[in-house]
Amino acid sequence: MQQLIHARRLADRPARISSRPRSTRPPAPHAAVGVGAVLFSDQGVLLGRHRRGTLELPGGTVEPGESFQETAVRELREETGLTARPDDVTLLGTLADHVGDVLRITIAALVHAWQGQPDTQPDESVGDWAWYPLDQLPDGLFVCSAQILTAWRPHLPIDHTPAHFTPFASGTAPSSTASNRGA
């Protein structure tokens, strides 16, 4: 009996419900979206020094039409000279925090394979790339990089401003590891 009543209600509903934008103007930007990439090898995790002094993971802002994996690969190439493929990138999750009036969304990514050796690239704001063992991480990490590292490995003794972390899927747990399969 319930099925029959339910079926009658569905028959009275339109086949599809439409939606539309409020206006033709693009939304005002109130958010910044970027990707930070963890590269982990037997030498440690890759960090570079920003011209303002912080130590950072490779990463940067998502460009229009670009997937998060493509952003990680592009930023890795631009900043370090290393090459990888989007298939070599696992998205760990999303970190959200506020900086002033801007919502900052950072996608934590783990790069499983890459080729080349990290090197300072001309006209990039981050350089002096080096591998740091997890038990010898330096002070002065950029907040987003610190948040990503503790989302990836919660046991790391890193202090940073709070961020809300939402993992993308099981199987990308913080205990996941990567190695440089490409040298």
Helix (H) / strand (E) element for 130: namely: strand 126-132
Mean pLDDT, the chain, whole residue set: 87
Q: What is the pTM of this model?
A: 0.79
Residue of 138, 157, 131, 152 whose CA lies nearest to 47: 131
Range of weakest confidence among 5-14, 58-67, 140-149: 5-14
Whether 109 has a pLDDT exceeding 90, the answer reads: yes
Question: How much of the chain, in percent, has pLDDT values that exceed 70?
Answer: 85
CATH dotted code for 31-167: 3.90.79.10
Question: How much of the chain, in percent, has pLDDT values that exceed 90?
Answer: 70
Dihedral sign (CA 155, 159, 165, 169): negative
One-letter amino acid at 115 equals Q
Q: Which tens digit of pLDDT belongs to each residue from 121-157?
A: 999 999 999 999 999 999 999 999 999 999 999 999 9
Query: Strand pairing of 31-41 and 89-99?
Result: unpaired
Q: What is the pLDDT of residue 170?
A: 62
Question: Which residue ranges make up each domain of the chain?
Answer: 31-167
Whether 95 has a pLDDT exceeding 80, the answer reads: yes
Whether 7 has a pLDDT exceeding 60, the answer reads: no
Q: Which residues pair with 36 in a beta bridge?
A: 59, 108
Instruction: Determine the average pLDDT of the residues in 151-177.
Output: 78
Whether 175 has a pLDDT exceeding 50, the answer reads: no
Rounded to whole angstroms, the Cα distance separating 103 from 75 reads 21
Maximum CA extent, the chain: 73
Q: What is the pLDDT of residue 79?
A: 98
One-letter amino acid at 56 equals E
